[in-house]
Amino acid sequence: GLEQELEGRFAEYVGAKYACAANSATSLITLAVSRYMPRSTCQVHLPSIIPCVVPNAVLNGGANIVWKDDINWVGHAYTLFETPKIRIIDSAQQVLPNQYHKCQEKDLVIYSFYPTKPIGGMDGGIIVSNNKEEIDWFRTAIHNGMSQESESWKRKLQFPGWKMHMNSSQAYVILQNLDKYNDKLHGLYKI
């Protein structure tokens, strides 16, 4: 469907191998915190000037927030948190061609399609990586924890998941805006 088309085209645009589209970037941040945040530390360092959705997602994911004085991230990607195994990057404010090429192989980068974001839509988010196993986990998690067989009656519960998948209407609007995005970038650079 359109969601899979968006995943493929967006991953290619930012230079990653795999992507998983969800109902929002906020949902993806919540899942990432709950999956990767080591319970021994359970602290995410956030810039002190940030939309409330990010701290909400961190708290809902089970971590605590430590505020840091940083405004340099505005308009750019920043490391949300890092463990010895993985780095989670919040790139809700920045989408660039081949952006993932600057990342490490296992990095996970989260983008937002909220109407005010670089590629706006009817909300939605996407997580990209070159790590297929991690993207597959997110794909299962956002589809109620179900396996991903194409025939729905053959799917089996893998773990308790969430109903966080992207719908076709969201994907359609985002695909339309993705088609126009290079022209938009060109116009912004000109300005």
pLDDT digits (tens, 9 = 90+) for 23-64: 999 999 999 999 998 766 688 999 988 999 999 999 999 999
Q: Note the pLDDT of residue 190.
A: 87
Give the pLDDT confidence score for residue 40 in this predicted structure. 63
**CA distance linking residue 143 with residue 156, whole number of Å:** 11
| pLDDT confidence band for 14 (50 / 70 / 90) | very high
Upper half-sphere CA count for residue 129 (Cβ side, 13 Å): 23
Cβ–Cβ < 8 Å for 14, 128: yes
CA distance 46 to 50: 8
**Which residues share a beta bridge with 109?**
89, 128
For strands 18-22 and 125-129, give the pairing.
antiparallel
- Reading the block at residue 174, the tokens are 């985002």
Overall pTM surpassing 0.75 (yes/no): yes
